[in-house]
Amino acid sequence: MSKQQFKQYVEEFDFTRLFNRLGWSYKKHQDLVKLDDVTFTLDTVAEKSGFRILVCGPDSKGKIPSYSVRMKLDRAISRLYGEHLIIFLDKDHRAQLWQWVFRESGKPPQISESLWYHGQEPELLYQKASGLFFTLDEEENITIVDVTGKVRENFQQNREKVTKKFYEVFKKEHKNFLGFIEGIDSQSDQEWYASLMLNRLMFCYFIQKKGFLDNNKNYLRDKLQACQQKKGKNKFYSFYRDFLLALFHHGLGAPAHSSELKAELGNIPYLNGGLFNVHQLEKANPDIQIDDQAFARIFTFFDEYNWHLDTRVTASGKDINPDVIGYIFEKYINDRAQMGAYYTKEDITDYIGKNCILPYLFDETERHCPASFASGNWIWSMLKDSGDAYIYEAVKFGVDPEDIWGDLPDDIWAGLEPNQSDLVEKRRCWNRSAPSEVALPTEIWREVIERRKRYMEVRIKIENGEITSINDFITFNLNIRQFARDVIENCEDNDFLLHFYKSLAGDGKTRSAVSILDPTCGSGAFLFAAMNILEPLYEACLQRMEEFLAVQPRKHKYFTEVLEKVKAPEHPNREYFIYKSIILNNLYGVDIMHEAVEIAKLRLFLKLVATVEPNYKKPNLGLEPLPDIDYNIRTGNTLIGYASEKEIDQAFSGQLDFDDDAGKLKDRCEQVAMAFNRYKQIQLGGVENYQEFHQAKEELEERLALLNNDLNMLLHKQTTVMKFENWLQSHQPFHWFAEFYEIIHGRGGFDVIIGNPPYVESKTVNYKIYGYLTSSCGNLYAFILERTKTLLHQKARCGMIIPLSGHSTSRMAPLVKNFYNCFNCNFIMNISADAHPSILFPGVRFRLAIFLVDNHKVGVFTTKYLRWYAQERDTLFQQVKFNEVKGFKYHDVIPKISDPRHLAVLNKINTQSVISKYEQGNKQIYYHNTPIFWIRSHSFIPYFKSERDGEKVTNQLKAIFFQTEEYSDVASGLFCSSLFYVWWITISDCYHLNKPEISNFPFSFVKINSIAKFRKTSKELEEDLIAKSQRRVYQYATSGTVEYDEYYLKKSKSIIDKVDNILAQHYGFTPEELDFIINYDIKYRMGKELEGDEAES
């Protein structure tokens, strides 16, 4: 369809013909939806495979309905038609708004909006709608999944592009703003205060756009102009000192507003929350000045964007919401501090969060309500009858459960039987690309077959009732979030519901709410993930309680008490109550950077405010004051300070008054915990008494400050001779035992710890770390894991993303011993995160691993070393496959296992003596020590010449010596084999090929049946490598022109296969094991050449 034609249909509001021209079917149907006293008419104008296009008329004032009304209408329509797009119109046909809401199980909805006004060119709308074109050829096989995919692709904007653009300008404006700050001497304090001010201003921008600041969406800009107009001859009026500080400290930060203040500030709410209190920097520097020009520049920058408190995305591509602010500030902090931390993408935080939090909640519920979890009881029966409902869509794609192999081409089907002597040859066709009807992006038939086998394996276990543990949802990678919701919503057992809710929210008496900690929280990515996991569980529990009470109103006293608290008049709505409860009761974070902590709190506050619409008829505009979470999200050094009672006792041991001094200190910790509990309970009950709240906070601050001072002095005396003040500033000690005494001492530790710690060499930080068993590991993430173990109680769960080297190198052996081996159960997902062929998230420079540990199940479960192309990234976490490590052991390394064939191969080769037995001698060969897809070994020295150094041996080439020339010839072929590559990937950091990984390879030279044949094949391979090599010339800034030979082992794959066939006879591999070895990671190792394309990769 041409742009002119599209424009005509849009201007005529003729959506039926528009979508008909796009290949959609005509569908005439009308639905009426009543909201309050207004009935809205929604007409279906087009349909494609169950996906509907609806047109909705105006509200009672003739305008396009407001955002909150549109979302209510969307929820109502979702009950009728799962997938749909709604076009909202005004009465006069001067405007239309296209709205699509993408919903993913267990995640917050993502809203995309495109607004068009009469007279405007519908260019952006055309770009989106033209992508929804369907041809007649597609008609027969099109499904609602295909239609939804097209809509999603064309209506979701590139948030990363917006973030990048905003961030680049923000950096400049932050630096500029810094230059206007006067009255603060310390550079670091200036930077901290600049971030604080920008946080406050951005918060105000969000709430002013929602109408909370005197119902003026340009409140700050207008007030700045008003201040500038007050300036006259001999009269100075500062926007910062005379208006902003009054707005922050006496307006948004105080409950009572005098008539004079109201006249100056207008009608604004009391927010509390700590963000607008007099800050410690403002107390220490009472003469701060910031010129008006600084604010004029910032407001001009901010005004270029649309500020939303929800997740909507408009066609402008200039949307800023709290999530975007989180990305921007995390990047800013990491860039400025070079902290070695990265902003973790949502699918990672979701995967780690749900697989720690939800199993903990089920474990805790089972502890109090074991009958519900008994074998054959309703929870597991529901799962048994669920079919494939909890198997992820990516695993199910293209699968016909009734005839799983029925659609295979004959040549593909011929390789299914594994016990065939010519199996490798029969399965060669499995390396062909599979058609899109049955394959996920880039899948070859080999992967399709493996995925279908996995589907059947898991489905059979479900249907046979073999899954009777929540940990099995991790092992088999089932949709645990959907399962948790379904269990609650279908629960007929009021005991289960009662104990699940108490595990979640606590009861204020004998049960504590689940405590979730990120010990290096940054701007709160994992805390947000936790909140998004918990919120639907709170909502489902409350909804189910109401349903129980509707049937038996007098029977469930506890449910009645809970719902009365929820419906208390001080709470604006249920959603606000839920988020406030989560923020106060469930979430905890610590970070060494002040700015990061401020941003984490800011984002949590924005999440709360987003749930409320301003109502100028209600007290405080209908907004309940924000919770003060200064003691949930803290600043300090996670690694420095006393973390446990044992550490306190050790600090006092040897002193004459040991029992007395230690006892007094613990008493004071108890008093701080009681003060903290009082301070939190006042907030949960609603802050009606402002004075009582502030007295509670002042008491807590005073007690904690005195306690921390004593602990700091004790630790300083123990560990250093530095001046106390200098040590305090550089080390920023954080005493977990005191700060979270009620959790550490009272409960034994946190329930769940999740996060992404910094990957930083300890020698590069400006503080000394003492007393860690992992000290020799030399990286902060190892110390943080050791500290994390101290902070967990015995039944807790923990999950993080860290460098893969943490369980794959001799350097990190102390971490394996003092962390991983301390838990009964380890799940480890091994990830090629930094490239080859695609990255996990921007900026990462490491191979990574995600681990989940607990003491509930017994065993070590790992994945293969996962690679993916960019097109596969979206389904990466849906296809995780864990394998139990049984029988194979390699030093202090936790191996990466693909499947049972992989383990069988390792256990077979492990019966032979290791190569180091044959190394003594003078017959040398060489190997390349930084392989990616292939390991290169040969007897010659490759050509390498640089303008700076002349001819030399590259640093990546290492020599190894053998007793005889026969052995060295055999070894050069052996190290190039796919078998040795599998070995190296299994037990290494997947980056360096170190000498021990060669010397410890099990291979007995004396047991080779035909050493002459092996030598001949090795020589043939070496000659082929040389013949297919190419001389390359590159220019480098440091070394000038560099000339060297490049080698392409994938071009010699047929000869390498000969080596692996010889090795198969040597070790006694089955045909299926040999097929596994030869085709290991074949799609990525061969690249384009797999399809016969000779282009290099």
Q: pLDDT tens digits, residue range 72-94? A: 898 888 878 878 889 999 999 98
Measured in degrees and rounded to the nearest 5, phi and psi for residue 906 equal: -60, -45
Candidate ranges 134-138, 605-609, 870-874, 1062-1066; pick with highest mean pLDDT: 1062-1066
Q: pLDDT tens digits, residue range 767-825? A: 999 899 999 999 999 999 999 999 999 999 999 999 999 999 999 999 999 999 999 99
Tell me: pLDDT of 915 over 50. Answer: yes
Can you tell me the mean pLDDT for 585-596? 93
Measured in degrees and rounded to the nearest 5, phi and psi for residue 705 equal: -60, -45
Q: pLDDT tens digits, residue range 542-562? A: 999 999 999 888 888 999 999
pLDDT the model gives residue 21: 84
110: closest CA among 271, 408, 314, 409?
314
Between 372 and 1091, the higher pLDDT residue: 372
Candidate ranges 225-239, 979-993, 1002-1016; pick with highest mean pLDDT: 979-993
pLDDT the model gives residue 407: 95
Q: 3-state SS string over 302-332?
A: HCCCEECCCCEECCCCCEECHHHHHHHHHHH
Question: Tokens in use for 978?
Answer: 């796919």
Q: Is 309 exposed, middle or buried (0-12, 13-18, 19+ CB in 10 A)?
A: buried
Torsion 18-21-22-23 (CA) sign: positive
Between 660 and 11, the higher pLDDT residue: 11
Q: pLDDT tens digits, residue range 869-880? A: 999 998 999 999
Tell me: pLDDT of 108 over 60. Answer: no
Measured in degrees and rounded to the nearest 5, phi and psi for residue 642 equal: -85, 125
Side-chain-side CA neighbours of 715 within 13 Å: the count stands at: 25
**Amino acid code (one letter) for 412:** I
CA–CA separation, 130 and 26 (whole Å): 18
Taking each helix axis from N to C terminus, what angle separates 645-652 and 690-719, rounded to the nearest 10 degrees?
Answer: 50
CA angle, 811 then 815 then 819, to 5°: 170
Tell me: pLDDT of 669 over 90. Answer: no
Q: Is 523 exposed, middle or buried (0-12, 13-18, 19+ CB in 10 A)?
A: buried
Q: pLDDT tens digits, residue range 358-399? A: 999 999 999 999 999 998 899 999 999 999 999 999 999 999
CA–CA separation, 310 and 212 (whole Å): 15
pLDDT the model gives residue 343: 65
CA angle, 687 then 692 then 698, to 5°: 110
CA–CA separation, 1089 and 1097 (whole Å): 8
Please confirm whether the linkage preceding 837 is cis (ω < 30° from 0).
Answer: yes
DSSP labels for 214-260? TT-TTHHHHHHHHHHHH-BTTB---IIIIIIHIIIIIIIT-S---HH
* Residues written for the chain: 1097
Q: pLDDT tens digits, residue range 220-251? A: 999 999 988 876 544 556 899 999 999 999 99
Contact status, residue 103 vs residue 128, Cβ threshold 8 Å: no
* Cβ atoms within 10 Å, residue 383: 21
CA–CA separation, 181 and 194 (whole Å): 8
Residue with tokens 């303008």: 947
pLDDT the model gives residue 233: 43
Torsion 607-613-614-615 (CA) sign: negative
Between 691 and 659, the higher pLDDT residue: 691
Can you tell me the mean pLDDT for 186-194? 88
| All structural domains of the chain | 3-142 (no CATH), 157-320 (no CATH), 376-467 (no CATH), 635-651+710-884 (3.40.50), 900-1090 (no CATH)
Tell me: pLDDT of 1034 over 80. Answer: yes
User: Average per-residue pLDDT in the chain?
Assistant: 89
Beta strand ranges found along 817-947 (DSSP E): 825-831, 834-835, 838-839, 848-854, 859-866, 883-884, 923-928, 937-938, 944-946
**In which band, very low, low, confident or very high, does the pLDDT at 149 lie, cut at 50, 70 and 90?**
low
